[in-house]
Chains A and B, each alone.
Chain A
Amino acid sequence: DTGVSQDPRHKITKRGQNVTFRCDPISEHNRLYWYRQTLGQGPEFLTYFQNEAQLEKSRLLSDRFSAERPKGSFSTLEIQRTEQGDSAMYLCASSVTSGRGYEQFFGPGTRLTVL
């Protein structure tokens, strides 16, 4: 069990640019989640996948955001035309689907700064 990994750990971009983050869940975890955490706040749910299917999306996930999990393993989160308000920590988590499926294990996060 190597834990959830995220890449990059930090990203600085200029307003209007596109960015993409990657998340590798714990192996054999079927569910994968994305959360956003702004300064002084707790994480807020964005979306989640079961295998390759995206099952829930938050209203926070505007049209500029898209998440994929093409083969049911790693996932990517893309933000198009970034805005300063997108500056946040983007957290990925994963869980199993049975038994302890309500326990979500988090990665270290990707900190995005939009200039």
Chain B
Amino acid sequence: AQSVTQPDIHITVSEGASLELRCNYSYGATPYLFWYVQSPGQGLQLLLKYFSGDTLVQGIKGFEAEFKRSQSSFNLRKPSVHWSDAAEYFCAALRGAGSYQLTFGKGTKLSVIP
């Protein structure tokens, strides 16, 4: 079955430290991949997306993600975390062209220590 896995339920980092949130997918072919962020009481905001091409994609708020086909991974990174980055982060996938059902991971909650 197609699935998206986020192995870390909760991560705590110090402000200014680097961040990496893990995401693995299980699909027959390379899906379209997304990272969303959800702050309390807010909807999901798209951080970045990968369809094809360059495996390192840049997003908003200083985030980037690297697609690694060999590891079926699409990990989210940020070199220096700010307190305002505390939120829940979701990795999501679409099966491919013509598919519109996003499949989400269970999310990783990020806490930032001042």
Contacts and interface: CB of A to CB of B under 8 A. Distances in A.
Interface string B81-114: 0000000001010100000111111110000000
Interface string A54-68: 011010000000000
Contacts, number: 55
A103 B49 contact: yes
Given A91-B44, A103-B46, A106-B45, A48 B100 contact: yes
A40 B32 CA distance: 24
B90 A43 contact: yes
Interface string A74-111: 00000000000000000101010000001111111100
Contacts of A45: 101-103
A4 B102 contact: no
A58 B102 CA distance: 12
A56 B106 contact: no
B28 interface: no
B104 A42 contact: yes
A21 interface: no
B100 A42 contact: no
B90 A33 contact: no
Given A58-B101, A108-B41, A41 B46 contact: no
